[in-house]
């Protein structure tokens, strides 16, 4: 820990001079900050936060020490604002928060290649993946590929509905492959990212740069390749990328929401290539697997929940593991905000409140009202042909919320928003879903809007 200059405050805002005392005091402050973060953002709180250290702390800046680069990335992307708010609340000062690798064992990990490796989520490892009949084959093939890239199943193609663990497994493969070999160059990205980078390369006249970036890797992992549909030029480019890698024995791993042959308007030559290796499906998890997942996720957050509660949650939510996690987060949030232990009664109240809110009849007008109010735009703008970012984003958010909070069809939703057709609505929903997963700010904005729509009295 570096205490730069004189420590300026303690919890009671006393000036501290004694060094030992200062260190202890900082540790106490930091423990309070961590407690506060739990309250502010239960969804992103993890048990391993306990292992974080204070790397540097002075009057205006707190740098938190993390065990590795992935942790730094995760905290930076998901938790920076809650840590900042917590630090400001506890110290009563304007504090900026940053994260840094703290090599407590003083041997820097040789695998660290800051800025070069793919962004990986520290939760998405094989250790944290619960294996059951619904995903056994997918899991086993991912393990095989990560141990010997390019030599077993190539390409490996995972498919299944949203929220069943495809992205989690792709991250886990990259982790494992990177542990196995430091020199391995891994490119991991979403299909949208691939398409956007391709478009940008064309615009900048730098296609060769793009091509060399993708055709020289050891492992190319692309998530959600169904977004290649109707993208003829991107498909063409991807076809050549695929061939270059495949012919050099490099590993290709893909995921999608449906099997290759069912992705609309995907070129025949890509379909056949995607089928060359192993195509494996992930199914919705069984009741037993769901219980194990709830327990695993609770453990990750440092929660102790009884079997009875895990069974209750697993019974309530079945189709989608993301929702299973959401249910657990709700329970955790109610427990931390009320300071009550997680009992069966608390779990029931927490989830039933959530289910009731969802069941309440919500109209598209309710949604439009909240969204236009938040963004300060007019309904007429949302219904107009305007395509500026300041209008399209609220419009797409309305579509997404209407799709998730009402029972209206895509056509009906499009009808309310200027007579747009169902593909436009579907595109908007996908786009916002991806943005929600990738961007914590979008995630919390959607949560806030949903709260205002479902609990209008509190708005």
Binding site for ligand ADP (CB under 6 A): 123-124, 128-130, 135, 160, 162-168, 293, 296, 321-322, 325
| Length reported for the chain | 459
Q: Taking CB positions, which residue lies at the least distance from Mg ion?
A: 167
How far is Cα 347 from Cα 354, in angstroms, rounded to an integer? 11
- Classify strands 61-66 and 53-57 as parallel, antiparallel or unpaired: antiparallel
Q: Closest distance between Mg ion and the C-beta of residue 223, in Å? A: 6
**Residue corresponding to tokens 């998405």:** 124
Are 137 and 280 contacting, i.e. CB atoms less than 8 angstroms apart? yes
- Classify strands 96-101 and 156-159 as parallel, antiparallel or unpaired: unpaired
Q: Closest distance between ligand ADP and the C-beta of residue 217, in Å? A: 21
Q: Closest distance between ligand ADP and the C-beta of residue 139, in Å? A: 8
Q: Which is nearer to ligand ADP, 162 or 363 (CB)?
A: 162
The half-sphere exposure of 58 on its side-chain side, counting CA atoms within 13 A, is 6
Binding site partner of 277, from ligand ADP, Mg ion, none, Cβ cut-off 5-8 A by kind: none
Are 366 and 453 contacting, i.e. CB atoms less than 8 angstroms apart? yes
Q: Which is nearer to ligand ADP, 91 or 255 (CB)?
A: 255
Q: Is 430 in the site for Mg ion (CB under 5 A)?
A: no
Q: Is 329 in the site for Mg ion (CB under 5 A)?
A: no
Binding site partner of 33, from Mg ion, ligand ADP, none, Cβ cut-off 5-8 A by kind: none
How far is Cα 112 from Cα 338, in angstroms, rounded to an integer? 41
Binding site partner of 129, from Mg ion, ligand ADP, none, Cβ cut-off 5-8 A by kind: ligand ADP
Q: Is 251 in the site for Mg ion (CB under 5 A)?
A: no
Q: Is 135 in the site for Mg ion (CB under 5 A)?
A: no
How far is Cα 397 from Cα 431, in angstroms, rounded to an integer? 9
| Closest of 47, 128, 169 to residue 296, by C-alpha | 128
Binding site partner of 296, from Mg ion, ligand ADP, none, Cβ cut-off 5-8 A by kind: ligand ADP
Site string for Mg ion, 137-176 (x = CB under 5 A): -----------------------------xx---------
Are 200 and 164 contacting, i.e. CB atoms less than 8 angstroms apart? no
How far is Cα 92 from Cα 85, in angstroms, rounded to an integer? 10
Q: Closest distance between Mg ion and the C-beta of residue 386, in Å? A: 31
Binding site for Mg ion (CB under 5 A): 166-167
């Amino acid at each position: 820990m570096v205490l730069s200059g004189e420590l300026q405050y303690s919890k009671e805002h006393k000036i501290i001079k004694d060094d030992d005392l200062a260190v202890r005091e900082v540790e106490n402050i930091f423990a309070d900050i961590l407690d506060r973060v739990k309250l502010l953002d239960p969804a992103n709180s993890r048990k391993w936060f306990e292992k974080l250290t204070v790397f540097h702390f002075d009057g205006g800046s707190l740098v938190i020490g993390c065990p590795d680069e992935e942790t730094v990335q995760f905290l930076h992307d998901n938790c920076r604002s809650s840590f900042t708010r917590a630090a400001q609340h506890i110290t009563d000062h304007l504090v900026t928060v940053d994260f840094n690798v703290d090599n407590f064992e003083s041997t820097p990990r040789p695998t660290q290649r800051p800025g070069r490796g793919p962004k990986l989520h520290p939760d998405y490892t094989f250790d944290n993946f619960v294996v059951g009949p619904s995903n056994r084959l997918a899991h086993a093939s991912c393990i095989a590929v990560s141990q010997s890239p390019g030599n077993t199943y190539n390409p490996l193609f995972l498919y299944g509905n949203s929220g069943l663990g495809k992205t989690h497994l792709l991250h886990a493969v990259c982790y494992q492959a990177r542990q196995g070999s430091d020199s391995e160059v891994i490119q991991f990205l979403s299909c949208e990212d691939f398409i956007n980078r391709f478009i940008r390369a064309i615009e900048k006249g730098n296609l060769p740069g793009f091509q060399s970036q993708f055709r020289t890797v050891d492992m190319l992992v692309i998530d959600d390749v169904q977004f290649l549909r109707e993208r003829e030029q991107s498909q063409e480019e991807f076809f050549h990328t695929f061939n270059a890698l495949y012919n050099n024995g490099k590993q290709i791993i893909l995921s999608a929401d449906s099997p290759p042959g069912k992705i609309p308007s995907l070129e025949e030559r890509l379909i056949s290539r995607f089928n060359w290796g192993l195509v494996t499906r992930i199914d919705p998890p069984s009741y037993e697997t769901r219980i194990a997942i709830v327990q695993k996720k609770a453990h990750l957050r440092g929660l102790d929940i009884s079997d009875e509660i895990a069974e209750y949650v697993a019974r309530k939510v079945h189709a989608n593991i993301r929702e299973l996690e959401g249910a657990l987060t709700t329970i955790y949030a109610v427990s931390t905000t009320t300071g009550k232990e997680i009992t069966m009664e608390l779990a029931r109240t927490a989830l039933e409140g959530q289910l009731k809110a969802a069941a309440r009849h919500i109209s598209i007008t309710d949604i439009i009202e909240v969204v236009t109010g938040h963004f300060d735009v007019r309904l007429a703008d949302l219904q107009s042909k305007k395509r500026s970012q300041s209008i399209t984003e609220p419009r797409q958010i309305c579509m997404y919320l209407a799709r998730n909070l009402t029972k209206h069809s895509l056509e009906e939703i499009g009808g309310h928003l200027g007579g747009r057709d169902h593909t436009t609505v579907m595109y908007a929903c996908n786009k916002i879903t991806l943005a929600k997963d990738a961007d914590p700010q979008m995630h919390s904005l959607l949560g806030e809007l949903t709260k205002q729509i479902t609990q209008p009295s509190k708005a």
